[in-house]
Structure 1
């Protein structure tokens, strides 16, 4: 019998959170409520804390090795998603998801190759891809926040006509919209990518964070994705971003490419990070379920708060991630309402502009906080635009 876990989002007070020294709580002054970067306002899950404490007590602080991460993720994937595609033979530990994305893109593309993304999308997609001498090509999402397959095929076709092949960097679940791609959409992605000679690399870091009314589908689980590559991690689901580790996964037809990844890449993850992630995946299920219920409640609360304090803002609730994408254009705050919310309301949310085409006039808000903090933040945002 599993013990009931209290909602992690209600465990910590604002005063306790302000003692933290991480980016979320130290970037802005103490009069700012931070609802921006992807950190959650939760205590460390007990199984993770116990595993880390035990490792430190025995001096187990060396270099990572072995297949414990792959085995733990495989068990989690089978239980949560009914997918048995995670195997040690087709996986490799990497320092984190974005560094893993870089290594996977190096395996399947050359310098100057195009990398297609669905904007608006996680800003490091632009930063990391550009830094590694690849060209970002946008295929904007549709008005509903889902993949616009006409735009995607248009991007692929345009590149094919130029004799250029590259990769499609897929975000699943999608950040910032919270969209969870359906099996049918992912199959269509695989088919189009094969037709135009594009390789799919899927960032699936938010995979554990899907609401009870939706279902996550791993990209590598759909027909046609056999030559795909995926990156997964426990870092977002259990708030372990500072404990660096992730897993690169290969479909059956891309296993040989993954095997060519330089050995030194596997030296980058933290050994304590791997221990923490394994504990989360194996023993953190009840904690995750309590978190997901808390996020469901916060989505409902956000709807009420927007109606009360920012009725001009439009929003399509995203079942994936704990990040929500707000369209603030009707508030007439020019291109960057995040500046107004920060300067006038002392609330930090992410500006939509760095997310690429479609980000103007939008903000991304992190709802992985207490209902009290979320309520105060929306009240301040309303006051910032004269609604309260």
Structure 2
């Protein structure tokens, strides 16, 4: 079968790094290369599903493996084991069901979590699968979805058949790729961040797929005003079409803090979501715009450290929360249910283009402009 393989040279910046442990990619992997290869057909285990991948989304994490710094190191700052088949935002049809699997049938449409938790370590057993001590990341530390077929443990998979009550088969398969990024936003806002009161003022920094998911979720949960912030006009227009009340381009000469004060009547933002991974630039903006007892939800991985004014944090009783992943807490089920019941209006707009697998590297190049919402790869399109 065909698959996209990412390779790089192991050149650790620090001693005592073990490449088998999935260390931070930007600390070790240099000069990445990408090629479509023929791989052996996956072998189905008793607790797995064999899935014919329909679509797989191009994520910012994939692009951060594709892009490098001045020294040639990949930009992705999370766990990475190379070589690996990239891709973790996928949907597909079940071809075969493992002998020990219950609740799934051949022909089911599914999507999958990409945080592959073990279920045995203390964090997993105490209800924190996103902090699993033995975690693997689909498409980053183990082979992922930019392949014609994939085997997945059934415990990570979720059925999407019932979405056909609202969408066509093709639309369901496309929307299925969005559950993972929207789930990351859900986890940050409602689980790690403990939610917010309806009527709140909200700002989302960075409106890629996760940021756009945050916009939809904030509106669905009752935010009075959502302000989208980005440097790319196309993304800001998309954010407004998906529910953002205001959009601010950071290239603007207008003072953003003045805009926030005017919109909120001098109160500031009750909740701010950072989905840009640009803490060095966004943290100072968020500190200026935060309301009393306001909270900052940090979702994006940053390439550099950022200064935080702890005196302001204490005086304003502010909260800063980091959030990783999308597993557990009913997240996937709740996001799927919201889509099924029409509560995430315009979710299908998040997909801005779909390309055949043969054009995947062109899709990576297009993604570098950051002008798209979500680019999907049709894994069986000619």
Q: TM-score, normalised by structure 1?
A: 0.32
- TM-score after normalising by structure 2: 0.33
Structure with higher RCO (Cα < 8 A, 6+ apart) = 1
Q: Which has the higher helix share?
A: 1
